[in-house]
Amino acid sequence: MTNFNDAISKLNELDFKNMYNGDFFLTWDKTDDEIKAVWQVADALRALREQNISTKVFDSGLGISLFRDNSTRTRFSFASACNLLGLEVQDLDEGKSQIAHGETVRETANMISFMADVIGIRDDMYIGKGHTYQKEVVNAVTQGNKDGVLEQKPTLVNLQCDIDHPTQCMADALHVIHEFGGIENLKGKKIAMTWAYSPSYGKPLSVPQGVIGLFSRLGMEVSLAYPEGYEVMPEVVEVAKKNSAATGGKLTISNDMKEAFKDADIVYPKSWAPFKAMEKRTILYGNGDTDGIKALEKELLAQNAKHKDWACTEEMMKLTKNGKALYMHCLPADITGVSCKEGEVDGSVFDRYRDPLYKEASYKPYVIAAMIFLAKFKDPVATLNALQKEGKKRVHE
């Protein structure tokens, strides 16, 4: 059972007043206190739900979702978070809408927001586009609210962009905090964020980038490893470096998976596309160069295939701290012998960590709900306490 009072008392020590009316783009936009506030509110909401207490703070209102890529987990996590708070999800399906017809972002953003309290966007396909688009949407609705068009400014939650995947990484970190018995126990621990082979092409970079950008501020040793050519965005590496320096942690980057796994407390092996290839692809798409895209895809698959030894095997796991590092993944993983012939992780390794992996995922709805909660309530602690005191049942008794 999650401890409500513990979460509240920790919240009372944090300064997060600037989150009110804000948005959640990137974890490194936020102060340490703000990041911690998200985790504590997530825990508080979970504690209330575990006690069958309703956390429906909205009597009506919409949560708009826009997914520019297929999604199961994030879609259901967003829907769950909205439902938990009382918002009805309305999906902006670009196939069913008129957006394609040359409509500006500014107009659409206002048109869907008359009764929207939240907008969640996943737009991770093109380098330099997703984050920019999300900024445009927020600027549009902020202006709309100022001009009296919108009665409220909907809060944006980044459900994955080209730079960061904050709802995933914040859930990952909350999982780690609980597994290690508290944030204070993470100091000096080693996490290996490594590339891993997958037979598929063009997976986003937002997870490895988000992980190094966030875990580097916990005083941990963050060991990023990938085959030559699989660099991530240099700006994010800079962020991680600065974070590490500030918190007494360490950031190492290598082309050696074994080095990264050695004595690691946590491993996060996962496929991604090279940053430069993704940039190239973005340009090819912009030019409508389908032959170029096909050629690039072929080239990237061939390049991937050279690194089939980058896999989280039983052998590799033995290198980790006592052979028992916590294995993490954002799911779905490419599991050798299960979902593909050769993939990111051995079937036996994956199977051993199934429970923790599912628990890792279970934090995402609460993390999203917490991001919304902190943006919508001026005094979140007071509101949480009020909910507990009111004690309205989620399920009738």
CA distances from 233 to 127, 302, 312 (A): 10, 22, 24
Q: Is residue 96 at the binding interface for a copy of itself, with CB under 8 A as the rule?
A: yes
Q: Is residue 103 at the binding interface for a copy of itself, with CB under 8 A as the rule?
A: yes
Q: How many chain residues bind a copy of itself (CB under 8 A)?
A: 75
Among the listed residues 55, 134, 206, 244, the single contact to a copy of itself using CB under 8 A: 55
Nearer to a copy of itself, 58 or 285 (CB): 58
Please tell me the distance from the alpha carbon of residue 363 to that of residue 360, in angstroms, as a whole number: 6
Nearer to a copy of itself, 291 or 396 (CB): 396
Q: Is residue 127 at the binding interface for a copy of itself, with CB under 8 A as the rule?
A: no
What backbone torsions phi and psi does residue 287 show, to the nearest 5 degrees?
A: -85, 0
Nearer to a copy of itself, 86 or 292 (CB): 86
Q: Cβ 359 to a copy of itself, closest distance in Å?
A: 6
Contacts of a copy of itself in 278-337 (CB under 8 A): 331-332, 334
Q: Which residues contact 32 (CB under 8 A, 6 or more apart)?
A: 217
Whether 227 and 310 have beta carbons less than 8 Å apart is answered as yes
Q: Cβ 181 to a copy of itself, closest distance in Å?
A: 16
- 312 exposure class (CB count in 10 Å sphere: 0-12, 13-18, 19+): buried
Q: Is residue 389 at the binding interface for a copy of itself, with CB under 8 A as the rule?
A: no
Q: Is residue 57 at the binding interface for a copy of itself, with CB under 8 A as the rule?
A: yes
Q: Is residue 181 at the binding interface for a copy of itself, with CB under 8 A as the rule?
A: no
Going by C-alpha positions, the residue among 111, 114, 152, 108 that lies closest to residue 133 is 108
Nearer to a copy of itself, 248 or 337 (CB): 337
Nearer to a copy of itself, 196 or 218 (CB): 196
Nearer to a copy of itself, 334 or 346 (CB): 334
Nearer to a copy of itself, 84 or 300 (CB): 84
Distance of CA 155 to the CA centre of its chain: 16
Q: Cβ 148 to a copy of itself, closest distance in Å?
A: 7
Going by C-alpha positions, the residue among 340, 73, 102 that lies closest to residue 207 is 73
Q: Cβ 174 to a copy of itself, closest distance in Å?
A: 14
Q: Per this entry, what is the length of the chain?
A: 397
CA distances from 259 to 85, 194, 319 (A): 44, 10, 9
Amino acid at 293: I
Contacts of a copy of itself in 72-91 (CB under 8 A): 72-73, 75-77, 79-80, 83-84, 86, 88-90
What does the angle CA 202 – CA 320 – CA 322 come to, to the nearest 5 degrees? 150
Q: Is residue 383 at the binding interface for a copy of itself, with CB under 8 A as the rule?
A: yes
